[in-house]
Amino acid sequence: MIADENQKLDQAFDRLRRRTTVYDRLGVLQRLVDYWHGPIRPEDGMSDAEIGGMALPLPLRWWYRWAGKRREVMSRQNVLFAPRGYLHNDPSLAVKDGRLHFYIENQGVYQWATLPGGDDPPVFGRYARRGRWVRENTTLSQHLILTCLFEAVMCHGKYNASIAWLEEEKFAEIVRQVPPLAIPPWRWLDTRFFVKNGVFMLAAENGVGKPYGGKRARSGEKRYYSVQVAAKTEAPLQFLKPLVGDNWDYVTF
């Protein structure tokens, strides 16, 4: 059963390698949410009254109407903003200087915004709630897919492993089994996303001298990667066992 689910999800992600519409991408997101969280019920969506009269781009309005009350899907680690007035404890959607602020890293280190309207507008990001906004390489629908993947790996995988300093050679071995998703990485830490056969991975190249900082490795310098891997079941992670050693920070399989 789970093998069939893995195959169907891989087929959905493979569609992203071809030309897609915003509805195609939202269909991939729907498949991903169903995989990790089970079927979404009608009562999991927000009514138009709960969303309020705020102008929203299509992917966000679609999300709130479909599964907006399932906060754990998008907001267990970082925070997807709620419509104004819906929640008192979480940040609310707000338009500032022409940009709709909609998602933030849990300690406020990085923030994302988009445009207030449109079928699938671009996403912008900046560090520490200040400085200039820089356009990301993703559209809003792509960002929501990555958000769901990020939350799944960080919070929902029963079987997982992580390492802050993985040698380039071992990282390459993993990537041969779990290729990159056909969506550009986040600018935040240059976070890249990988999926295959029920294995989900986040990875970022460490800067020279310390994790998540410093200069990128130059030609000839050894590269290291910060890696987090997760799966719903143990079986897909068996290929990883020969690569896991005492230097790994956390392993649950």
pTM of the shown model: 0.94
Provide CB contacts within 8 A for 23, sequence distance 6+. none
pLDDT at residue 213 tops 80: no
Three-state SS at 167: strand
pLDDT at residue 86, as a whole number: 79
Asked if residue 253 lies in contact with residue 161, where contact means CB atoms within 8 angstroms, the answer is yes
Burial class (CB in 10 A: 0-12, 13-18, 19+), 180: middle
| pLDDT at position 208 | 55
pLDDT score of 207 more than 80: no
Q: What angle do CA 223, 227, 232 make, to 5 degrees?
A: 155
Q: pLDDT tens digits, residue range 214-245? A: 455 555 578 999 999 999 999 999 999 999 99
Task: Assign 3-state DSSP to the chain and report helix, strand, coil percentages, each to 5.
Answer: 35, 25, 35
**The amino acid at 174:** I
Instruction: Measure the CA–CA gap between 251 and 253, rounded to whole angstroms.
Output: 6
pLDDT for 204 beyond 80: yes
Q: Which residues pair with 95 in a beta bridge?
A: 100
From 72-76, 189-193, 203-207, the region with the lowest mean pLDDT = 203-207
Q: What's the average model confidence in pLDDT over 139-161? A: 98
Q: What is the mean pLDDT of the chain?
A: 93
Which tokens go with 15?
């569609």
pLDDT band at 199 (very low <50, low <70, confident <90, very high): very high
Domains of the chain: 2-140 (no CATH), 157-251 (3.30.310)
Mean pLDDT of 16-30: 98
**CA 110/CA 104 separation, integer angstroms:** 6
- Closest of 3, 2, 1, 66 to residue 29, by C-alpha: 66
Decide: helix, strand or coil at residue 134: strand
Residue 209 has pLDDT above 50, yes or no: no
Residues 178, 104: Cα–Cα separation, whole Å: 27
Q: Which stretches within the chain are classed as H helix? A: 2-14, 22-37, 48-51, 58-67, 71-75, 140-151, 168-177
Query: How many percent of the chain have pLDDT more than 90?
Result: 86
Are β-strands 224-231 and 199-205 bridged in parallel, bridged antiparallel, or unpaired? Answer: antiparallel
